Amino acid sequence: MTKDWQNPALLALTLIALPAGWLAYELGNPPLAAQLWNLSALVVAAVLILEIVQRLIRREVGVDLIALLSIAGAVLLGQALVAAVIAVMLASGRTLEFFTARRAERELNKLIDRAPRIASRMVEGQLQQIPVEEVMPGDRLLVRMGEVLPVDGVLLSLTATLDESALTGEPLPVTLQTGASIRSGGVNVGAPLELQASETAAYSTYAGIVGMAQAASQSRAPFARMADRYALALIPLTLLIAGLAWLLSGDPIRALAVLVVATPCPLILAVPIAIMSGISRCAKRGILVKDGATLEALAEAQVLFLDKTGTLTTGHATVQSVESSGAYTQEQLLHLAASLAQASPHPISAAIVAAASTNTRPLSTPEQVVEEPGAGLSGVVDGHQVMLGAHHFINANQPAQAWDEGMLRRMDYQDSSGSFIGVDSAMAGVVLFADPLRIESPNALRRLRQAGIRKIIMLTGDRAQTAQMIGLAAGVDEVRAELDPAAKVAAVQQGRKDGKTLMVGDGVNDAPALAAADVGIALGASGATASSEAAGVVLLVDRLDRVAEAMHIASRSRLIARQGVLVGMGLSLLAMLAAALGYLPPLAGAILQEGIDIAVICNALRALGAGFNANAASKLQGSHVDELKREHADLAQLLESVSHLADQFSTLAQDQAQNKLQRLLTRLETQLIPHEQADENELYPLLARHLKGEDPMSALSHTHREIFRLVKLLGRMNSDFSANSAALSQDEIGQTLLRLDTVLGLHFQLEDELFHNLDVR
């Protein structure tokens, strides 16, 4: 392999020899000038001969043969100055190629070079500096401010602030609490922290990332290998043109001029630099591409397969609502359920406890807790026998009541799951859960279609009804439900008949399907899972829209590579013809060819950037987006109240309906309307400056006006209903509430998606 110093040393030698020879010539010593120029050229020729022999030993044909022939021809024909200039151009081109390749691999090299070598292990209160390879699971480690986390582990300190920008491309630090799982590779930007290692360094997240980065930096794309073959085909063509020029003109200088301008640099430089620049650009955005072949396949993909849970949806169950059968209020039921759920490590139990954490009433300590795996929990809370779990667990050996049947039917319609609550041997209510669609999913799928995807298919093991609703909301073309891992593999393999396939997933059971696709893409922010190891692309930040970004980068890199080849080789061929006809002497040809090489390399480096007009909108600062999201979170309970009252208004007693409607109107007028008016008057003008188009906020402004109209209409209806209940039916008010609920739900979803897509992080 060429030493790092060799190309700069050759360049320095040729740059010294060229003016030294010129000085000798001006001082009246042409023989010395010729000797200096020929010497520098012969040194470069010797290096070329050595490299050609090394390639022949490896059974490779070197395209440097043309350059060697041009130097030899110039020396033999007494064109010492031409030989020296060719030597300078070759040395400068090789040096430029070397530094350009380093520039193209910069982001990959950053990932590799920052890998920690030393860890601080705590043993009996003493710190030991040990090689990171000696860290074992269970070791207590200290990570000081500014140090890279050496292994995956569990946070022992109360809090930790980590900068994961080198992994994910997200600029803002993340704050974690004690007990959190943390992955290697992040930088501690806060106080020194302690963690307990859960993996060795070799099996930690960052080791997998470094391994992929090293493989990518050494990879060769199919397009690059094809370009090499075309470059080799240039050798006989060049010799033919040079021979004809000499034969027809009788002037060997013309043959030399053809050799000088016949370098295949546009082929052998443009493609690998553009592809490597694309891989490096992906790494900067938290998208780790395994090799050049994967990047090329990514640019050609036409069929996309998506897992549902954790890919299209968040993969994290959240409490949607608490429903009561009548004996207890929603707050009482949540308190009882959460108090009991504290005793279980199940993620569903954790979600219930998290939902109750917003209440001011502290949770009680459960007693006599018994857990039946796959069924539920039972125990005593505040003197009540409480059960939490599946419907059959609560209602064992008893026929379902009307409330139970209605709730089960509603859960089926809404594609939600739930944990039923029994209190003192009676069905008391249910906690409903939802695995919501990722905010970016619809927008990401639209962008993927723009990037070249013609068909999107969702694969899931869930029930068909649930899968269909998620698929419709996300905008997929086809849903295949109730599939096991083998059936997912078969679906991906079958999809290849429609074009190159992508498979995106995040779970261990997705690994076979990821491996079966032309390109497997793993959402690997949670660590180096089996799915990450089977994938050709790993997203270090769990955002589905990064898939579309990866496709855009891949397509742009391949386009830039092709542009470099076509334009560069076109110019070289024109220069060869001009030289053959006698219009381009060897000295001018060498200078022209160097200009072509520099232009090709600079063009290839464009793949490092996002390009002009890369985004349809500029970005808001992450702090602005966080504030917008907090405002929406504060209004979530109000929106739930609108939905809840809309569902039950027509069935309520008249007095109860009037009271609930009046309380809701008061909240709408004091909380919702001021918020929406502030959005319309202050936020939307700000957002319009970040978006393209004449009036990009017009659709959302229209929904604002509809919200204002419906709230005003409800106020009038409430007045009429209070004055004369016979003049207005509860059904009419209920229908207006339903319309308001629908508009609010759609409006907030659109705003959440917009805020998410404008996030700078």
Active site residues: 307
Spatial contact of 323 and 430, defined as CB atoms under 8 Å apart? yes
What is the number of residues in the chain? 761
Chain position carrying tokens 């996300």: 474
Distance CA 22, CA 134 (A): 60
Q: What are phi and psi of 175, to 5 degrees?
A: -110, 130
Helix residue ranges, H only, 314-399: 330-341, 347-356, 391-394
* SS3 state of residue 718: helix
Which DSSP string corresponds to 180-249?
-EE-TT-EE-SS-EEEEE-S-GGGSHHHHHHHHHHHHHT---HHHHHHHHHHHHHHHHHHHHHHHHHHHH
Q: Which residues contact 724 (CB under 8 A, 6 or more apart)?
A: none
Distance CA 694, CA 681 (A): 17
Distance CA 413, CA 393 (A): 22
Spatial contact of 120 and 141, defined as CB atoms under 8 Å apart? yes
Distance CA 456, CA 449 (A): 9
- Tell me the pairing of strands 174-177 and 181-182: unpaired
| DSSP symbol at 726 | G
**Which string of b and e fits 536-552 if b means at least 16 CB within 10 Å?**
bbbbbbbbbbbbbbbbb
Q: C-alpha dihedral over 58, 61, 64, 67, to 10 degrees?
A: 140
Name the amino acid, one letter, at 264: P
**Which string of b and e fits 611-622 if b means at least 16 CB within 10 Å?**
eeeeeeeeebee
Q: What are phi and psi of 140, to 5 degrees?
A: -95, 125
| DSSP symbol at 505 | E
Distance CA 446, CA 43 (A): 57
Lateral strand order in the sheet of 318-324: 318-324, 426-434, 417-423, 384-389, 376-381, 367-372
**Largest Cα–Cα distance of the chain, in whole Å?**
119
Spatial contact of 248 and 238, defined as CB atoms under 8 Å apart? no
